[in-house]
Structure 1
């Protein structure tokens, strides 16, 4: 029974190019009680590997979170497979605004403690007791209401390149960091304000909406389908777009443009820019914003030190990395003293 990828990302990319067939980038999630996540993980891998589905999927006792690349011609078969699973029947599929044949190059289905890490250890908290889902039209109406507090449930590097007008954007590195901060800041408004939240596709603010209801907030709402579905509804229904900039996404594309506004700056020179890159030095791999001019000048690196290391022969680079724990800048995402213009 094959439960692993036979091809490397490079080999898979070559096959995709050779095939020249359309692929759809999409995501979905569902909170549900899964008794044996490992067994469910194996079941998904075997089925999706046969369909040539690629992506990053997390399975836990609390549900599933999936970002995928699906061959367009097999979409109906893929949808029928999802519908055959009782808690995934008619699940919302967030289809990407911009597609990329290489958004994912491997199929990774992993078992996790939770599909959204929250740092909570409260058995009385029920993630299924969620807030009110609202569509783009109702969302626009709510955020115009002076009784509404709008909160971005994403991390700092996501909201930096794009967010809704008037939103509170916590300067946090992880979802778990934001929960207590927001509760503390808004605790005096548990009954007199509408707490409206949004995230990329809905999974984080769905858990957050249940959490804040659990903490006593009376009027809790979330943008159904997140920014991805909002952008689609705005386009289809010709609504006013209240989102500025890009929506950060967790695949090789890194972002989708929702409006023409560029609200961020290059972290190296300060020019208007909203393009995220990873430092070319494999020992660093820092995620940061870099304009085209700095990309050329710095050879796609975040610092002079990384540029010098990246210019060394591969074996020398490998030797420098030997014995150094892989906990340097990889998870810092825009947090580094070498980034002079980080907002």
Structure 2
């Protein structure tokens, strides 16, 4: 079983990727499907994907598969042939990154989980395969212009903070499972409206569409391929772009620019900025938005406390790190406020 896991040091893998001249393509895909034996399927995937140079993060569960990966550009056709060996993944839509330097992932990680997208609900609460209607970019724009449509962002606050569709509802949540009951209550009197949902690549909308259909919403639509595919279609078909700002992505890049608008602010100084970073203090590691100037001032940290901590000797840090409360001790993701220097990153 050892051969079915990466055993190389993480920092070495990162260094190798950064120094490599190999052209790589970043992409994502998902598919809700009833998988009888996720562990067996996981091991099979690891073997066949490792052979074609796949790097990235893949989750498999009884409800399906969710993958964010990169592949060698020269082996694109070989990868597609490998994917087509799996009957339920044949002719699957692959979402290729908009902005891509190929440095998105540095190792292959495949995990068998209870669900590919945690929703906090029992397995039999609703059927994830009974989804809403998929729409392309043109139809999305048409529906979004109607007074009978509610445009709904199914992502988390730190994602919508840097970019979202015009007039979209952007729930202040940190996880998908939080959003389902909050949105249901919020839209209780709009079950006859068009419910038009979007997310990064489509996986959250797909599950949410099935959930809201089971709750009595009559007209449920989802943006096929998510923001990633929308941006591609807008460019290729010369459509109006209704997305403002940057699309947050869950890899080393942390974002793809969809429009030139910068709608977020540095969490430390309040200047316009939409660049996410993790606090340089590994004992904190909170995700927050930081401009270049504050990055230099705080040495990549979210606070003076963290900056002072990383400048201690290693033995001092090791002795103190479990006794000090940092921003990341309480909060997984940062929120904007006027002055964060030594305060929690929350409103």
Bucket of the pairwise TM-score, normalised by the shorter protein? over 0.9
**Residues of 2 paired with 1:185 and 1:322: CA distance?**
40
1:1-25 per-position Cα deviation (integer Å, ceiling 9, x unaligned): 5011132233223433454110000
Q: Give SS of 2:159's match.
A: helix
The alpha carbon displacement at 1:313 in A equals 2.3
Aligned residue for 1:251?
251
**Residues of 2 paired with 1:146 and 1:94: CA distance?**
30
Task: Tell me: CA distance 1:228–1:258, structure 2 relative to 1, closer, same or farther (3 Å).
Answer: same
Aligned residue for 1:274?
274
1:267–1:339: 8 Å Cα contact kept in structure 2? no
Q: Give SS of 1:329's match.
A: helix
Aligned residue for 1:50?
51
1:264-323 per-position Cα deviation (integer Å, ceiling 9, x unaligned): 000001001000010000100000001111100000100111000011123332332358
Moved beyond 3 Å, runs of 4+: 13-19, 322-331, 335-343
Aligned residue for 1:65?
66
Aligned residue for 1:203?
203
TM-score (norm 2): 0.94
Task: Tell me: CA distance 1:340–1:322, structure 2 relative to 1, closer, same or farther (3 Å).
Answer: closer
Q: What 5-or-longer segments of structure 1 have no aligned partner?
A: none
Aligned residue for 1:283?
283
The alpha carbon displacement at 1:132 in A equals 0.3
The alpha carbon displacement at 1:101 in A equals 2.7
The alpha carbon displacement at 1:92 in A equals 0.9
Aligned residue for 2:167?
166
**Residues of 1 paired with 2:327 and 2:44: CA distance?**
32
**Residues of 1 paired with 2:239 and 2:57: CA distance?**
32
More displaced, 1-10 or 286-295?
Answer: 1-10
1:57–1:65: 8 Å Cα contact kept in structure 2? yes
**Residues of 2 paired with 1:19 and 1:328: CA distance?**
33
1:267–1:342: 8 Å Cα contact kept in structure 2? no
TM-score (norm 1): 0.95
Q: Give SS of 1:121's match.
A: coil
**How many residues are matched?**
342
Q: What 5-or-longer segments of structure 2 have no aligned partner?
A: none
Alignment of 1:4 with 2:5, yes or no, is yes
